[in-house]
Structure 1
Amino acid sequence: MTRRVFYSFHYKPDHWRVSQVRNIGAIEDNKPAKDNDWETVTKGGDQTIEKWIADQMFGRSCVVVLIGAQTAGRKWINHEIDKAWSDKKGVLGIHIHNLKNSDSKTSSKGSNPFDYVTLKNGKKLSSVVKVYDPPGADSTAVYNYIKNNLEKWIEKAIEIRGEN
């Protein structure tokens, strides 16, 4: 089953790695904001950003947080995670540090962003949400691992959310 997902990520350092995951084709392709569009959105302030995120998440069944070196703890990443969970969407994380960027470089592994979000019962969201760290000897192997597992990870995230 093809799912519509929202990708949450730290744009500047990770957009190249994220584009690789977006282009896998296992799920419905949603277009990211272009740099100029995002600048316009951010100039509108917090309410404009919140509305843009809500509009982008509308009709999506899952939020995939693509975790780079600096993703965890960011204001808008946390907001997207909170919103997704509140809206009863599936949520999962995938470490992308071993995918190469446009300069053919990998990065350091980032912290779990779900450690920065607390549920109403006081538990960290990381105690519920799955985060995957794809193995592989090189960027191609990591990409292939993500490609071969993304659909089932999304289905599992939706199942987990239905149980919580």
Structure 2
Amino acid sequence: MRRTFFSFHYAPDVWRAWNVRNSWVVQNEKNSEGFFDGSVFEASQKESDDVLKAFLRKGLENTSVTCVLAGASTWSRRWVRYEIARSVVKGNGLLTVNIDGVKNDKGMSSIKGANPLAQMALYRTTSGIFLAEWKEGKWVKYADYTLAIPEKDLWFDAPRTTNIVQLSTHCMSYDFVEQNGRTNIGSWIETAAGLAGR
């Protein structure tokens, strides 16, 4: 079973996320693919940034894939971006699963948001390879992880120039409702793991 970290925007999407995260239970008896839940929920907002970052890094330990469950505004969330950044550094496979069509506890779906993996990118400078994020209408250096990423730690081709290369270029994206995620999410996760050599 694949240990997978689920990244999502807590307040509007927790009900949808629970449905997606638990869908493997339904298929587990007939299908060996699936995942163990290695994710964490949002920590207390009373914590400092450093404590919260450590909490999220701990949640990523022992996982090999990060599945970003994308709702309407997941792409803009600071801590989702941090989870994505640390997943890149760790070498996890990455994928996006759109969950806007999954109904919440009130029976309502949401609107489709941007792909969070298209809002983060890598670029090369003379000092190394760095993360960038789309913020306020432009690409800027990612502020919550500013160290260079060793090229050997990337499972995909590293950028060759200063041009931005979005993470979505290397990662698959799916729609949970339109592509029958209840049946297929296990194989999507296995594909992400395979692409990353995990």
Q: Deviations over 1:99-156 (max 9, x none)?
A: 10010000101111111111232311111111102454xxxxx6xx112111111111
1:28-107 aligned at under 5 Å gives the runs 28-30=36-38, 32-33=40-41, 38-39=43-44, 42-107=45-110
8 Å contact from structure 1 (residues 88, 162) kept in 2: no
Counterpart amino acid of residue 160 in structure 1: L
Q: Does 1:147 align with 2:182?
A: yes
8 Å contact from structure 1 (residues 94, 133) kept in 2: yes
Which residue in 1 is equivalent to 2:16? 17
Provide the C-alpha distance between the structure 2 equivalents of 1:123 and 1:161, rounded to a whole number of angstroms.
17
Q: CA RMSD in A?
A: 1.8
Q: Deviations over 1:63-106 (max 9, x none)?
A: 11000001002211111111101100111010001110010000
Find runs of 4+ consecutive structure 1 residues off by over 2 angstroms: 29-33
Provide the C-alpha distance between the structure 1 equivalents of 2:185 and 2:99, rounded to a whole number of angstroms.
13
Counterpart amino acid of residue 146 in structure 1: G
Sort the Cα spacing of 1:88 and 1:30 in 2 relative to 1 into closer, same or farther, 3 A. Answer: closer
8 Å contact from structure 2 (residues 5, 39) kept in 1: no
Displacement of 1:5 after TM fit? 0.7
Counterpart amino acid of residue 107 in structure 2: S
Gaps of 5+ in 2: 26-33, 124-158
Gaps of 5+ in 1: 137-141
The residue matched to 1:16 in structure 2 has which SS? helix
Provide the C-alpha distance between the structure 1 equivalents of 2:177 and 2:73, rounded to a whole number of angstroms.
20
Provide the C-alpha distance between the structure 1 equivalents of 2:82 and 2:38, rounded to a whole number of angstroms.
20
Counterpart amino acid of residue 113 in structure 1: P
Provide the C-alpha distance between the structure 2 equivalents of 1:17 and 1:135, rounded to a whole number of angstroms.
11
The residue matched to 2:165 in structure 1 has which SS? coil
1:114-133 aligned at under 5 Å gives the runs 114-120=117-123, 121=159, 122-133=164-175
Sort the Cα spacing of 1:31 and 1:5 in 2 relative to 1 into closer, same or farther, 3 A. Answer: closer
Aligned length: 150
The residue matched to 1:69 in structure 2 has which SS? coil
Residue 194 (structure 2) aligned to one of 155, 159, 162: 159
Provide the C-alpha distance between the structure 1 equivalents of 2:63 and 2:20, rounded to a whole number of angstroms.
17
Larger Rg: 2
